[in-house]
Amino acid sequence: MKIGIIVAAAGALALAGCNEQVGGPGASTYYDCGNGTRLKVDYVDADSVLVQMNDNPPVTIPADKSASGAKYMSPTHQFWNKGEEAMWTVGRMMPMTCKKVMVPRGV
């Protein structure tokens, strides 16, 4: 009986440590921009967002003023979302319209 309680407590402690991770399913927001482009977005705080496009390194983008939705802008990246849609721009490329998607747990 004591061993069962110890094992259960150890398991609970191990799972509690998992909640400290930033990002991942449930914490991140995912967007499909078509043509194989996917975004993983983590809202770091009210002043910045962390965006990862496909397997590229994530970039931190500071918040910018917006009349509608949430806008984040740097000299090389722009992420602007409202509701279920977002616009994503890198450098001088044409902006991509992206739609929020659900990602199954464990992905």
23-101 CATH, one of 2.102.10.10, 2.40.128.200, 1.10.10.10, 3.90.1150.10: 2.40.128.200
Six-digit token string for 92: 């001088």
- Contact between 58 and 39 under an 8 Å Cβ cutoff? The reply is no
State if pTM tops 0.85. no
Among 99, 82, 85, which residue's Cα sits nearest to residue 35?
99
CA distances from 8 to 14, 17, 18, 44, 98 (A): 10, 15, 16, 33, 43
For the stretch 2-18, pLDDT in tens is: 444 343 444 433 334 33
For the stretch 31-52, pLDDT in tens is: 999 999 999 999 988 899 999 9
